[in-house]
Amino acid sequence: MSTPTPPVTQQPTVLITGAAKRLGREIALHLASAGWRVAVHYRDSVTDARKTVADCARLAGASAFFRANLANETAVRQLLPAVVAKFGHVDAVVNSASTFEHDTVASFSFAALEKHMRANAGAAIVLAQALHTHLQSRGATGAVVNLLDQKLWNPNPDFFSYTLSKTALEAANTLLAMELAPRVRVVGVAPGLTLTSHMLSPEKFETLHKMAPLGHSSTPADVASTVAFALSNPSITGTTLLVDGGQHLMRFERDFSLM
């Protein structure tokens, strides 16, 4: 097998799923500020996607948005080729989008599991496969970063199907890193409690955010800079970087949103 040639010296392009808002948007802005051209994926939040694209374009000079339902395999398989058609090449994929719906062992159903597995694990695997094919055609190398969750190292049974889907994605990191090397590196990034939600008041979020050995969990900037590090370091693959202030070292009986 011939050794892949290094990436060409041109502005790199990254596809970020779920980049219209929240953590995906923060990652998009951070990478744009570092010189990446950003393909902003969204499902329904077109207004937010337009804003992220505009903000990224001011930083990197090029950005565009792409709509796809990650639970639909056909749509996922069309996504990376659409980005290539727009930008000419893609060098990395960041899988930030997540389906996150509450269920328990008692309320578990095949439908709930399939919904989470499709969007959270299946889509990321298909995009890694597509990136590998694209990079092979160019004789280049690249990387995939999968957003995971400290919950995998500190398990509780809340959000049962979500947790199973992220567990599958963490295992896929190892398998993909083995199968797609040396063309594609595959790295996980696992944040702790990073952003609040409709299930947490600002006061409760602040209290929970401080419940970590370091006295704080991850911030969006912490996660975004870790993603950038994972993309830039050529010697990291098949592992996960936990960015959570040490929350995975503590025992939480419930999910943050239900504590």
Q: What is the pLDDT of residues 82-116, one digit of tens each?
A: 999 999 999 999 999 999 999 999 999 999 999 99
| CA 194 to centroid of chain Cα atoms | 14
**Tokens 């207004």 -> residue:** 47
Confidence of residue 31 (pLDDT cuts 50, 70, 90): very high
**Distances, alpha carbon 44 to alpha carbons 10, 20, 65, 68, in Å:** 32, 9, 12, 9
pTM over 0.85? The answer is yes
Residue pair 98/24 in contact (Cβ under 8 Å)? The answer is no
| CA 196 to centroid of chain Cα atoms | 18
- Domains in the chain: boundaries: 13-258
Domain 13-258 sits in CATH at 3.40.50.720
pLDDT digits (tens, 9 = 90+) for 3-22: 444 344 489 999 999 999 99
Q: What value does the mean pLDDT of the chain take? A: 94
Question: Residue 169, class by beta-carbon neighbours within 10 Å (0-12 exposed, 13-18 middle, 19+ buried)?
Answer: buried
pLDDT digits (tens, 9 = 90+) for 113-144: 999 999 999 999 999 999 999 999 999 999 99
**How large a percentage of the chain has pLDDT more than 70?**
97
> What 3-state class would DSSP assign to 185?
strand
Residue pair 88/11 in contact (Cβ under 8 Å)? The answer is no
Confidence of residue 198 (pLDDT cuts 50, 70, 90): confident
